[in-house]
Chain A
Amino acid sequence: MKYVREIKTAFKVSILILMGYTILGFAFGLLLVSFNYPWYIAVLMSLFIYTGALQFVAINFFNAKAGFIDIAIASWFINLRQSFYGLSLIKRFKKSGKLKPYLIFAITDETYALLTTIKDDEQLKKRWYYFFLLLFSQLYWVFGTTLGALIGMSIDFDTVGLEFSLTALFVVLCIEQYKNIKNPIPFIIGAIASIFSLLFIPKDKILLVAIFIALILLFTFKKRITDE
């Protein structure tokens, strides 16, 4: 076989996110079918959207019958960090030719962390190594989703409270984020903006209003934040 070395190395590295993606994908599939949506909706989302945070939040969009424009704007903000991931991958993905669209599509929090932390083996054909690494990662995600959705459909157990897995995911990511920036002000801004919209804004606009208030506060206190 042609790219055997690349496939082997990619598989070895991808094991780091095997567990995480399978379990989180499983939770997503399970949660989606618990609201009586068909299982293949979950699989479609993991195939074509492939971003954990947004997929979980999308269940709220479906339940709340959110408008399409609101969905588009909210998705953009929720995914914005991936634009910044891309910035630091431009050089790495440079000579990847026809594989490039998939490499760009498959950037996620976890694969970005892998791509930027693991040291590259100089002998490998880079683009194929990246391609298989990202492909394996998405396979785990799709596999977990499918399994969760199918099991959730056929076994009837009490899933009340399962939606907290999403809250827990964001709590954990917040802590990790704090370790990166070591500055409490953005978190305080996020909390103030959220509490304000929870109290005064109708449910289907909470997310967007909170984001806009937070952006205004972010630029108002720009100097204090960068001085911290």
Chain B
Amino acid sequence: MNNSDIYIAIAIMAVVSFFTRVLPFLFFKKRELPESLEFIGKYFPAIILTILVFYTIKDMDFGTFPYGLKEILAIAFTASLHILMKNYLLSIFMGTIFYMGLVQYL
């Protein structure tokens, strides 16, 4: 993207982000939440986060050696570290260092 397109994109994201934040304050002042909305609200975050994990590794080449093994290893490392230590900064930090080591030195 060139710079002016980037400014437009930033403006769009700013407006959309504010819109998603302000939405409940505009429409649900007193009314009860419909059941289907409650369902989405409960399960959609898990879905979008899973999709985003895959989306962030979309540029990896799974067709040739090492078949995305570095990404899978680094994800497994990050996840295990997080389950063991329960410290999300540490997991993100160490996971990234681990992956950078894999792609830069192997």
- Verify B24–A207 contact, CB threshold 8 A: no
- Complex CA distance for A65 and B5, rounded to whole angstroms: 9
Residues in A with CB closer than 8 Å to B99 are: 161, 164, 167-168
Q: Taking the nearest CB of chain B, how far is it from the CB of A203, in angstroms? A: 6
Instruction: Give A62-90 as 1s and 0s: 1 = Cβ < 8 Å from B's Cβ atoms.
Output: 11011010011001111111111111001
A window 39-83: CB within 8 A of B: 41, 44-45, 48-51, 53-54, 56-58, 60-63, 65-66, 68, 71-72, 75-83
**Is A211 interfacial (CB-CB < 8 Å)?**
yes
- Verify B55–A58 contact, CB threshold 8 A: no
Which secondary structure dominates where chain A touches chain B?
helix
On chain A, the number of residues with a Cβ less than 8 Å from chain B's Cβ atoms is: 88
Residues in B with CB closer than 8 Å to A49 are: 10, 13-14, 17
- Verify B48–A78 contact, CB threshold 8 A: yes
User: Which among A7-15, A122-130, A138-146, A218-226 touches the partner chain?
Assistant: A218-226
- Complex CA distance for A51 and B48, rounded to whole angstroms: 15
- Complex CA distance for A20 and B89, rounded to whole angstroms: 6
A45-B10, A168-B96, A181-B43 in contact; A80/B20 too (CB < 8 A)? yes
Name the contact of B88 in the complex, choosing from A50, A83, A167, A172 (C-beta under 8 A). Answer: A172
- Verify A165–B92 contact, CB threshold 8 A: yes
User: Known contacts A104-B22, A167-B95, A172-B82; can you find 6 more A-B pairs with CB under 8 A?
Assistant: A20-B88, A60-B56, A75-B13, A165-B92, A168-B95, A226-B39
- Verify B53–A207 contact, CB threshold 8 A: no
A44-B10, A82-B20 in contact; A187/B46 too (CB < 8 A)? yes
- Verify B45–A81 contact, CB threshold 8 A: yes
Residues in A with CB closer than 8 Å to B3 are: 38, 41
- Complex CA distance for A57 and B97, rounded to whole angstroms: 20
Residues in B with CB closer than 8 Å to A68 are: 8-9, 12
Q: Taking the nearest CB of chain A, how far is it from the CB of B8, in angstroms? A: 6
A82-B21, A87-B28 in contact; A58/B13 too (CB < 8 A)? yes
With CB as the reference atom, state the residue of chain A lying closest to B5.
A65
Instruction: Give A166-202 as 1s and 0s: 1 = Cβ < 8 Å from B's Cβ atoms.
Output: 1111111111111001010011011101110010000
With CB as the reference atom, state the residue of chain B lying closest to A50.
B17
With CB as the reference atom, state the residue of chain A lying closest to B20.
A79
- Verify B9–A61 contact, CB threshold 8 A: yes
List 26 A–B pairs whose Cβ atoms lie within 8 Å, in order of A's numbering: A53-B52, A56-B56, A57-B55, A58-B9, A61-B1, A83-B21, A85-B21, A90-B28, A104-B18, A104-B25, A158-B100, A160-B104, A161-B104, A165-B92, A166-B56, A167-B78, A167-B95, A168-B96, A169-B92, A171-B53, A173-B49, A174-B50, A189-B50, A210-B51, A214-B48, A225-B43
